[in-house]
Amino acid sequence: MSTRDQILAKVRAALADVPADERPEDVAVPRDYQRSRAGTDIVDLLIDRLVDYKAVVHHTASAAVGAAGHADASGVADAVVARLLVARGGRIGAPVGVPEEWLEGVDAVRDDPVLPAAELDALDGVVTGCALAIAETGTIVLDGSPDQGRRALTLVPDHHLCVVRLDQIVRTVPEALARLDPSRPLTWISGPSATSDIELDRVEGVHGPRTLEVVII
Amino acid sequence: MTGARARGAGATGVSGTFVGMPAFPIASAKAVGDSQLRHNLHKATHTIRGKRAAVVGEQPDWTELRAAGAAIKNRVLRHLDVYLEQLEAAVVKAGGHVHWAADAAEANRIVTALVKATGETEVVKVKSMATQEIELNEALADAGITAYETDLAELIVQLGDDRPSHILVPAIHRNRAEIREIFQRSMSEWGRPAPADLADDPPALAEAARLHLRERFLAAKVGISGANFAVAETGTLVVLESEGNGRMCLTLPETLISVVGIEKLVPTWQDLEVFMQTLPRSSTGERMNPYTSMWTGAAEGQEFHLVLLDNGRTDVLADQVGRQALRCIRCSACLNVCPVYERAGGHAYGSVYPGPIGAILTPQLRGMSSELDESLPYASTLCGACYDVCPVEINIPEVLLDLRAKVAAAGGKGHRVERLAMAGARRVLESPGLLKAGQRAAGRFRRLTPRRLPGPLAGWTDTRDIPAPPPQSFREWWERNR
């Protein structure tokens, strides 16, 4: 008998007390927790939680767009992203699907063909979009779509600028899982890399990007 | 550096690290006498307790999430065979390979063979309880393969040639000054040395770890991990972490090997909505941990192997009371609130699973085969704080009492004497005449009451004073004064 069959046989023997006609769905799971919640404005909440975990946040959706009028909201937002990258300086990595407008005037390199690890390490930063953001926990989720790229691209460089659209923001974790596709490689990011390993004090900055900058457009 | 190395130079093969550990009372007595250790533990556990309480308090449906988490895990455990087969099929369908290991030795053989097949002699590791439990690093070292721990706390433990003492924060027993000393002494033996002017503030120490491991990550060809959850429905594996070392190990290598206990399953993708809320808040006291990776099968063209580990878990499953210990999601909230853990520290438990959860999990996984395992169910005051904080409602005091009953029923000298004493007491208390005679004798000869009891009864008086008998019993006083 293979180890696989041995383990499955031991499992079945161990569960002799479970009635033979009981199906998994017969074991009741009470789901009276809250999938969604009412509360404060989710954009404000997301900003509050991101800042709490030491992310740098820019909100172009209100002030900047208001100043520019209604005509070209997306153009203004694109320009804000490019301006932030130029101000920061250095060589910036970008996945193939990031709009050219975000890279206006930026010393940018597309991850196509894929950059070797050493070249990723030499980058000063990376700019991506995201799959969604969770307001309550200050979390951004990447799913490897063309505007987010492969996982290493947002991991090795020390600075990650992530662009979040208003329609990508959800309030709760259950709302986020319902929108995500498990067949894609997912990375959930809540603030910059951190550790609590020394005396259980949280310190920002270990192996992942030490600066997380979020632009809400 | 030449040749493979593993934590614990004296360790030989499987379970070498903890062989010969004394029973809990002896090991804990030594720890309690270490004032530096007690200071470190007190500071750390109280810090995390406060953070956990704050973020749990802001979750309005915590009670409901806890109940749902317990029920989801019960569903998995009661139908584990179904879900294991479902997970296997989903992982294979997504391009991964699935291996089954009955015990530590088999798991180590499988992983060693997989690494050897790649031709590599170095692997990078994400912190994982399962690989600590099977002592994979030692087995790999015996095969000439060096495993580099990359979690900051695991790195501290590995560099310090030490053993982990906490599930979440294995180096909780070390303070910043000790960590600085370990880095300065040992980093050069493993790779890039620590900066000569290394300070002992946590950001400087984290920076030293970043520099030490960076080249290692970029060159790594094989990564080894565990998993917090494995979703049967989709074949998705989930790893929660903080530093980014997990992401490095999971995404940069060409080959990824994940060793996962068979109890880590959850039925559906949707079920993660419960645990992705309860685990971060319970473990690090954060709304969300900095990084979580979720992947299904061969992600981004990677070669992926899943090793499903039994190693005693089916024995735990067979015990209808003890089974609930398999619901554990390794958050370590029970350690942080435990008055015994806070004073004794993790090493006294003689296992990679310390604290209240270790006191019920270790004896069940290992089958109460040693004096240490038999002593663990007694390493508790039964105060119940662990049950209160558990995000999957494991009734740890209930399991402790059940295990104590099993230890007592199995016999041993002390338990025979105890049964004899209880039988004697019953006889006396059932007979007014005998009780009266006994009380009178105790009163007359009260000056002769010993400070310590003789023979096998001495254990009772080691930690207690015998109450002084009164000169006369209430019965005698009543007869004279009524």
What is the full DSSP assignment across A92-155?
EEE-TTS-GGGGTT-EEEE-SSPPPHHHHHH-SEEEE--SEEETTTTEEEE---TTT--GGGGT
* pLDDT at residue number B456: 72
Mean pLDDT of B322-338: 97
3-state secondary structure of B380: coil
Mean pLDDT of B350-354: 93
For residue A176, what are the domain limits? 37-216
Which ranges in chain B are annotated with CATH 1.10.1060.10? 314-409
DSSP state of B58: T
Structure tokens at B145: 């393969």
DSSP state of B175: -
* pLDDT at residue number A51: 95
DSSP bridge partners of A215: A58, A163
Percent of chain B with pLDDT strictly greater than 70: 95
CB proximity B288 to A under 8 Å: yes
Tens-digit pLDDT profile for residues B40-62: 899 889 999 999 999 999 999 99
A19 in any annotated domain: no
List the single residue in A7, A28, A37 with the smallest CB-CB distance to B310.
A7
Q: Which residue of A12, A31, A195 to mutate against B (max B Cβ within 10 Å)?
A: A195
Torsion sign, CA atoms B135, B136, B140, B145: negative
Tens-digit pLDDT profile for residues B116-144: 999 999 999 999 999 999 999 999 999 99
- Residues in chain A within 8 Å Cβ distance of B248: 155, 207
**Residue A62, CB half-sphere, CA atoms under 13 Å: how many?**
5
A2 in any annotated domain: no
Cβ neighbour number for residue A192 with a 10 Å cutoff = 24
Q: Where does the pLDDT of residue B391 fall: very low under 50, low under 70, confident under 90, or very high at 90 and above? A: very high
Domain B314-409 has CATH 1.10.1060.10: yes
Q: What angle do CA A195, B158, B255 make, to 5 degrees?
A: 80
The better pLDDT of the pair B450, B223 is held by: B223
Q: Where does the pLDDT of residue B34 fall: very low under 50, low under 70, confident under 90, or very high at 90 and above? A: confident
Q: What is the mean pLDDT of chain B?
A: 91
3-state secondary structure of B103: coil
* pLDDT at residue number A64: 47
Please state the φ and ψ torsions of residue B234, each to the nearest 5 degrees: -110, -15
Torsion from C-alpha of B67, B284, B353, B189, nearest 10 degrees:
160
- pLDDT beneath 50: ranges in chain A: 64-71
Q: Which residues of B123-133 are buried (b: 16+ CB within 10 A; e: fewer)?
A: bbbbbbbbbbb
CB contact under 8 A, B244 and A138: no
Structure tokens at A181: 């596709």
Mean pLDDT of B332-358: 94
* pLDDT at residue number B19: 61
Q: Which residue of A196, A203, A204, A214 to mutate against B (max B Cβ within 10 Å)?
A: A196
The better pLDDT of the pair B70, B415 is held by: B70
CB proximity A87 to B under 8 Å: no
List the single residue in B179, B244, B318 with the smallest CB-CB distance to A198.
B179
Q: In CATH, what number is assigned to the domain containing residue A48?
A: 3.40.50.10420
Q: Where does the pLDDT of residue B296 fall: very low under 50, low under 70, confident under 90, or very high at 90 and above? A: very high
State the smallest CA–CA distance between residue B365 and chain A in angstroms: 14
Identify the helix (H) or strand (E) that includes residue B100.
Answer: strand B97-101
CB proximity B268 to A under 8 Å: no
Structure tokens at B300: 């981004």
Residues 6+ apart with CB under 8 A from B372: B21, B22, B23, B24, B27, B350
The answer to whether residue B2 scores a pLDDT higher than 60 is no
A14 in any annotated domain: no
The better pLDDT of the pair B106, B41 is held by: B106
CB proximity B78 to A under 8 Å: yes
A53 in any annotated domain: yes
3-state secondary structure of A56: strand
DSSP bridge partners of A4: none
A62 in any annotated domain: yes
- Residues in chain A within 8 Å Cβ distance of B208: none
Domain B59-311 has CATH 3.40.50.300: no
> Residue B368: what residue type?
M
A26 in any annotated domain: no
DSSP bridge partners of A162: A128, A214
The answer to whether residue B8 scores a pLDDT higher than 60 is no
How many domains are contained in chain A?
1
Ranking A68-77, B69-78, B248-257, B286-295 by mean pLDDT, the lowest is A68-77
**How many H-runs (helices) and E-runs (strands) does chain A carry?**
6, 12
- For strand A91-94 and strand A125-128, is the pairing parallel, antiparallel, or unpaired? parallel
Please name the residues between 92 and 131 in chain A that touch chain B, using a CB distance below 8 Å: 117-118, 121
**Interface confidence (ipTM) of the complex:** 0.95
* pLDDT at residue number B331: 96
CB proximity B85 to A under 8 Å: yes
A71 in any annotated domain: yes
Ranking B2-6, B16-20, B415-419 by mean pLDDT, the lowest is B2-6
Looking up tokens 């002769």, which residue turns up? B448
List the single residue in B82, B247, B286 with the smallest CB-CB distance to A187.
B247
Structure tokens at A52: 């709490």
A12 in any annotated domain: no
CA distances from B141 to B10, B13, B100, B203, B357 (A): 12, 9, 22, 32, 29
* pLDDT at residue number B1: 41
Interchain CB contacts (distance < 8 Å): A and B = 247
- Residues in chain A within 8 Å Cβ distance of B88: 4
The answer to whether residue B315 scores a pLDDT higher than 60 is yes
Ranking B344-353, B378-387, B447-456 by mean pLDDT, the lowest is B447-456
Nearest CA-CA partner of B243 in B277, B272, B207, B216? B207
Which ranges in chain B are annotated with CATH 3.40.50.10420? 59-311
